[in-house]
Amino acid sequence: MSAVAELIPPRPAPPAARRAITGARIAAISVLILWALLAIALVSLVITGFDQAKFLRYGPRYLNGLWVTISLVGISVVFGAALSLPIAFARMSTNRVLSGIAYIYVYVFRSTPLLAQLFLIYYGLGSFKPQLEAVGLWWFFREAWYCGVFSFVLNTAAYQAEILRGAIQSVPRGQHEGAAALGISKFVTFRKIILPQAMIVALRPYGNEVILMIKGSAVVAIVTVYDLMGEARYAYSKTFDFQTYLWAALFYLVIVEILRHVWAFLEARLTRHLKR
Amino acid sequence: MSGEISAFFSALDPLCGPVGIFSLFNSGSLVACGDAGWGDEIASGVWMTITLAIVTLPVGLTIGFLIALAAQSEDRLLRLAAGIYTTIFRGLPELLTLFLIYYGLQILIQAVFSWFGYDERIEINAFAAGVAALSVVFSSYAAEVLLSAFRAIPRGQYEAGDSLGLHRWRTMRLIVLPQLIRIALPGLTNLWLILLKDTSYASAIGLAEILRQTGIAARVSKEAFFFYGIACLLYLILATISSVGLGFIERSVKRSEVAR
């Protein structure tokens, strides 16, 4: 005989718990609405203010400016990397004078604004015209573009030297000792054992530095170089149309986002062997 | 009374006061204070730079803190809203952000006002635009620093707050924030030094800070190298002073840390 006299009849499932509307949800929706309104305002500004003649007139100039920005940053980063190598080694050397000089260089260039450095080189060295002409360097410091490259190289070399130093010092001592025990020469040790391991550590900071340079390179617009920012300023001074800046912003955002994703891909690819 | 206070402060003025750097030069030199030299103009530029940075700091920190809270919330939409903000303002050059805000805010405010039937040309103060642009940039980087600091705090700390019966805000204020500040301080120190350098961009919209004032002096006196050198030196001094001061704060904060 069963202990249960009658079975409980089947019942419908309980109603789904109502999602509580939290403060976070309200805040999220209101902020998103604010963003959407701003985006609509900007897009409608571009659409209503669209002018075929202006587009044809300034569009090619923007592309030209884009190329100036990219080439400026590319050249500066490459030459800066070359210059950062001796600075990083000087900074790590046991010679107090040498490391002191490298430290002062890095400290000075990292704690003054890029804009002030650019002014110092372009306008400041420009006041030494006779002396520069005597040495035969005036052609270089006369051009705003060369001055921009020069100041960017000096600036990014200081930052890259710190990145390189940190990365090289992050490689454990045992790697040096192991190579020494195998009788490998210092140069080969550095090139084949230390540098590959250091570069993986330095990959992310290098990516950040390139992005910072792209953003920092906008300052050359102030010393009359027509990079992306310079073209935007030129177009604004001719048309007084706010969307000139919006187009430049779009270009910069796209470059930075592409770089960020390329770097994320590179990092994922190059550190495959480190993942567990 | 206020005259006495200002007299007291002007006596301590390190640039143009009675024992100031620029006052040590004789009145004939280029950086003398007063009508003869550019010392007092540059000194006012230094104060403007410091004021701009100090006014920006609390605004930027507050926005950055809110963004960091949003970025680590469980709500997907809130994370999206925060992500849009940081992606945009970390991707734009600071100089362009400054121009966008300086000209864009004028257009926006004018549009809103004309909606209410008020048609008058509106000019935004360069200082206000500078503070707005710099705090937007500062906050999007500060959000990143604070977010990683939030992630460094174990969940157990929140649970401990809950089990003590503390309200969420009290948990935040009494348990999380003190640890958060300690973890985020090195990153925020870095951001402050970057902010000091970024104030130089405000010279592009005509704010009379260090670079603007030395630029005027350089143009008038034709001694560009000298004056821009002074500008670099002043930024260097400001950075050194603040890194020494912040190092002091960092050490004193570390002292209260529990030994693990």
pLDDT tens digits, one per residue of B146-170: 999 999 999 999 999 999 999 988 9
> Is residue A274 situated within a structural domain?
no
Domain ranges of chain B: 39-255
* Statement: residue B10 has pLDDT above 70: no
Query: What's CA B80's distance to the chain center, in Å?
Result: 26
Specify the DSSP class assigned to residue B258: P
Out of A27, A229, A242, name the one closest to residue B78 (CB). A27
Place of tokens 């060369």: A146
Q: Does A212 lie at the interface with B, CB-CB under 8 angstroms?
A: no
Mean pLDDT value across residues B5-12: 61
Task: Please indicate whether, in this complex, the C-beta atoms of A25 and B100 are within 8 angstroms of each other.
Answer: no
Q: Does B96 lie at the interface with A, CB-CB under 8 angstroms?
A: yes
> Is residue A55 situated within a structural domain?
no
Task: Please indicate whether, in this complex, the C-beta atoms of A214 and B224 are within 8 angstroms of each other.
Answer: no
- Out of A2-11, A258-267, B79-88, B222-231, least confident range: A2-11
> Is residue A123 situated within a structural domain?
yes
Out of B91, B92, B200, name the one closest to residue A116 (CB). B200
Chain B residues lying within 8 Å of A222, measured CB to CB: 95, 204
Q: Which residue of A has its CA nearest to B86?
A: A253
Look at residue B3 in the predicted model and tell me its pLDDT: 62
Please state, in angstroms and rounded to a whole number, the distance separating the CA atoms of residues B183 and B177. Answer: 10
Look at residue A171 in the predicted model and tell me its pLDDT: 92
Tell me the two tokens of residue A201. 């550590």
- Out of A15-24, A47-56, B176-185, B233-242, least confident range: A15-24
Chain A residues lying within 8 Å of B224, measured CB to CB: 119, 123-124, 126-127
Q: Does B200 lie at the interface with A, CB-CB under 8 angstroms?
A: yes
Tell me the two tokens of residue B175. 């348990």
Q: Which chain B residues in 132-191 lie under 8 Å from chain A, judged by CB atoms? A: none
Q: Which residue of A has its CA nearest to B241?
A: A111
> Is residue A41 situated within a structural domain?
no
The values of phi and psi at residue B88, to 5°, are -65, -50
- Out of B109-118, B199-208, B239-248, least confident range: B109-118
Q: How confident is the model at residue A1 (pLDDT cuts 50, 70, 90)?
A: low
Look at residue B90 in the predicted model and tell me its pLDDT: 92
Look at residue A101 in the predicted model and tell me its pLDDT: 95
Residue type, A156: T
Q: Does B105 lie at the interface with A, CB-CB under 8 angstroms?
A: no
pLDDT digits (tens, 9 = 90+) for A34-73: 889 888 888 888 888 888 888 888 889 999 999 999 999 9
Chain A residues lying within 8 Å of B223, measured CB to CB: 127
Task: State the residue range of the domain holding A260.
Answer: 60-267
pLDDT digits (tens, 9 = 90+) for B131-140: 999 999 999 9
Q: Does A37 lie at the interface with B, CB-CB under 8 angstroms?
A: no
> Is residue A52 situated within a structural domain?
no
Please state, in angstroms and rounded to a whole number, the distance separating the CA atoms of residues A233 and A247. Answer: 11
Look at residue B1 in the predicted model and tell me its pLDDT: 45
CATH of the domain at A156: 1.10.3720.10
Between CA A91 and CA A97, with CA A95 as vertex, the angle to 5 degrees is 80
Q: Does A51 lie at the interface with B, CB-CB under 8 angstroms?
A: no
Chain B residues lying within 8 Å of A120, measured CB to CB: 225, 228-229, 231-232
* Statement: residue A8 has pLDDT above 60: yes
Distances (CA, A) of B40 to B14, B32, B189, B228: 11, 8, 30, 16
pLDDT higher at A86 or B105? A86
Mean pLDDT value across residues B80-105: 92
Q: Which chain B residues in 3-62 lie under 8 Å from chain A, judged by CB atoms? A: none
Chain B residues lying within 8 Å of A256, measured CB to CB: 90-91
* Statement: residue A10 has pLDDT above 70: yes
Mean pLDDT value across residues B22-32: 64
Please state, in angstroms and rounded to a whole number, the distance separating the CA atoms of residues B148 and B64. Answer: 12
Q: Does A256 lie at the interface with B, CB-CB under 8 angstroms?
A: yes
Largest CA distance in chain A: 118
Chain A residues lying within 8 Å of B100, measured CB to CB: 245-246, 249
Structural domain count, chain A: 1
* Statement: residue B201 has pLDDT above 90: yes
Distances (CA, A) of A89 to A18, A107, A150, A165, A180: 64, 16, 21, 8, 19
C-alpha torsion A178→A179→A182→A188, nearest 10 = 170
CATH topology of domain B39-255: MetI-like fold (1.10.3720)
Please state, in angstroms and rounded to a whole number, the distance separating the CA atoms of residues A235 and A247. Answer: 11
Out of A116, A125, A222, name the one closest to residue B232 (CB). A116
Would you tell me how many other CB atoms lie within 10 Å of the CB of residue A51? Answer: 12
Chain A residues lying within 8 Å of B220, measured CB to CB: none
Please state, in angstroms and rounded to a whole number, the distance separating the CA atoms of residues B37 and B71. Answer: 51
Look at residue A56 in the predicted model and tell me its pLDDT: 85
Please state, in angstroms and rounded to a whole number, the distance separating the CA atoms of residues A109 and A87. Answer: 12
Q: How many CA atoms lie within 13 A of A72 on its CB side?
A: 31
Place of tokens 């920006």: B56
> Is residue A40 situated within a structural domain?
no
The predicted model scores a pTM of 0.87
With 0-12 / 13-18 / 19 or more C-beta atoms within 10 angstroms meaning exposed / middle / buried, residue A161 is: buried
Query: What's CA A69's distance to the chain center, in Å?
Result: 13
Measured N-to-C along each axis, helices B224-255 and B39-71 cross at an angle, to the nearest 10 degrees, of: 40
Task: Please indicate whether, in this complex, the C-beta atoms of A31 and B225 are within 8 angstroms of each other.
Answer: no
- Please list the alpha-helical segments (H only) found in chain B: 2-12, 39-71, 76-91, 94-115, 126-152, 155-163, 168-171, 177-198, 210-221, 224-255
Residue type, A235: A
Q: Using an 8 Å Cβ cutoff, are B15 and B43 in contact?
A: yes
Out of B81, B93, B225, name the one closest to residue A31 (CB). B81
Look at residue B17 in the predicted model and tell me its pLDDT: 64
Mean pLDDT value across residues B179-185: 90
* Statement: residue A22 has pLDDT above 80: no
Mean of per-residue pLDDT scores for chain B: 86
Look at residue B12 in the predicted model and tell me its pLDDT: 61
- Mutation to test the B interface, candidates A62, A112, A132, most B Cβ within 10 Å: A112
Q: How confident is the model at residue A132 (pLDDT cuts 50, 70, 90)?
A: confident
> Is residue A19 situated within a structural domain?
no
- Please list the alpha-helical segments (H only) found in chain A: 23-48, 52-92, 96-111, 114-119, 125-126, 129-135, 138-142, 144-170, 173-181, 186-189, 195-216, 228-239, 243-270
Look at residue A239 in the predicted model and tell me its pLDDT: 87
Minimal CA separation from A13 to chain B, in Å: 27
* Statement: residue B14 has pLDDT above 80: no
Look at residue B40 in the predicted model and tell me its pLDDT: 82
Look at residue B258 in the predicted model and tell me its pLDDT: 65
